[in-house]
Amino acid sequence: MDLYEGLISRRTIHRFRTDPVPDDIIRLMLSAAIQAPNHHLTQPWRFVVIRGQSLQELANYRYEVALDKAQRQNRPHAERIAEQARTEFAMLSVVVAVIQVLADDPYRQQEDYAAVSCATYAMMLAAWSQGVGTYWGTGAITRYPPVLKLCQVADNERIVALVRVGYPKEIPHVPRMAAEDKTLWLT
């Protein structure tokens, strides 16, 4: 797959097959991630590859976070919603936590967040080049203390993305507005 084709065809995958993604593909994704542009070469990222028993633990934390949210929203069938959230994670092959090491300076933090986002996207595109799908997830689970503990996130760090990784069961179509409608050409 050439780079442009990968950029155009990549989609967030919501439904994954259960067959495992080889560690070599995860390594290839991480190698791509660390090539992301980053100002002053701060390389402000860290990655945690979550598999096996740790992934089951993460799935249980997802249940707790989803249950809390559904109950606070007074949603009927809160437990069923939370159970579904758990199963979604429990069935995955791998989740990669992308962590930003937070600089003291707020402006540097903002630039570093951009760099970590680039790294996350590079990782996703590298996966896509190997026929592997990803899903960049955020939300309350990225701040949930047991998840921070599981990923050994220090006080000067934060989770920028929990990237689900697996072979796609289906690839959704997600339309975009035309680039021309978003662009001002100056002469």
Ligand X SMILES: Cc1cc2nc3c(=O)[nH]c(=O)nc-3n(C[C@H](O)[C@H](O)[C@H](O)COP(=O)(O)O)c2cc1C
| Chain residues 109-138 in contact with ligand X, contact rule CB under 6 A | 136-138
Determine, following the binding rule CB under 6 A, whether residue 8 of this chain makes contact with ligand X.
no
- Angle at CA 26, nearest 5°, toward 21 and 30? 165
Q: Are 20 and 103 in contact (CB under 8 A)?
A: no
Provide the minimum distance between the beta carbon of 84 and ligand X in the complex, in angstroms, as a whole number: 14
Of residues 41 through 60, those in contact with ligand X by CB under 6 A are none
Candidate residues 3, 8, 41, 174; the one interacting with ligand X per rule CB under 6 A: 174
Q: Given candidates 139, 152, 154, 156, which one binds ligand X under the rule CB under 6 A?
A: 139
How far apart are CB 12 and ligand X at their closest, in Å?
Answer: 3
Whether residue 11 is annotated as binding a ligand: the answer is: yes
By rule CB under 6 A, what count of residues binds ligand X?
7
Phi/psi at 96 (nearest 5 deg)? -110, 120
User: Binding-site residues for FMN, please?
Assistant: 10-12, 39, 136-138
Which residues contribute to the site for ligand X (CB under 6 A)?
Answer: 11-12, 136-139, 174
User: Binding-site residues, please?
Assistant: 10-12, 39, 136-138
